[in-house]
């Protein structure tokens, strides 16, 4: 389990489904992973967006996790430098 997965609050029976990954930025310096939170009955319970950005100058990394509910409201958001 990665560090960001420990920070996301999943209820009992919920799992993360990886939907897609892509790169952003003029030098492709930001990795973005999108996940869907799926309940044990198959319903969508929310989304998680994980970004891992490496600064072009200084090579400093910042990881950001944003968890939203099905309506798009932010439930959890945190950034840190690993």
Structure tokens at 74: 């932010």
How many independent structural domains does the chain possess?
1
Contact 1, 16 (CB under 8 A): no
Q: What is the pTM of this model?
A: 0.92
Q: What is the pLDDT of residues 10-52, one digit of tens each?
A: 999 999 999 999 999 999 999 999 999 999 999 999 999 999 9
The boundaries of the domain holding residue 50 are 3-80
Measured between alpha carbons, how far is 75 from 82 in angstroms, rounded to an integer? 22
Q: What is the pLDDT of residues 58-78, one digit of tens each?
A: 889 999 999 999 999 999 999
pLDDT of residue 36: 98
pLDDT of residue 1: 73
* Phi (first) and psi of residue 78, to 5 degrees: -155, 145
């Amino acid at each position: 389990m990665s560090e960001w997965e420990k920070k996301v609050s999943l209820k009992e029976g919920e799992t993360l489904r990886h939907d897609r990954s892509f790169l952003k930025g003029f030098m492709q310096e930001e990795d973005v992973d999108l996940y869907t939170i799926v309940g044990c009955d198959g319903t969508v319970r929310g989304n998680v967006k994980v970004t891992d950005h490496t600064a072009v100058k200084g090579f400093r990394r910042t990881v950001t996790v944003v968890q939203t509910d099905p309506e798009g409201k932010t439930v959890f958001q945190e950034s840190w430098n690993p």
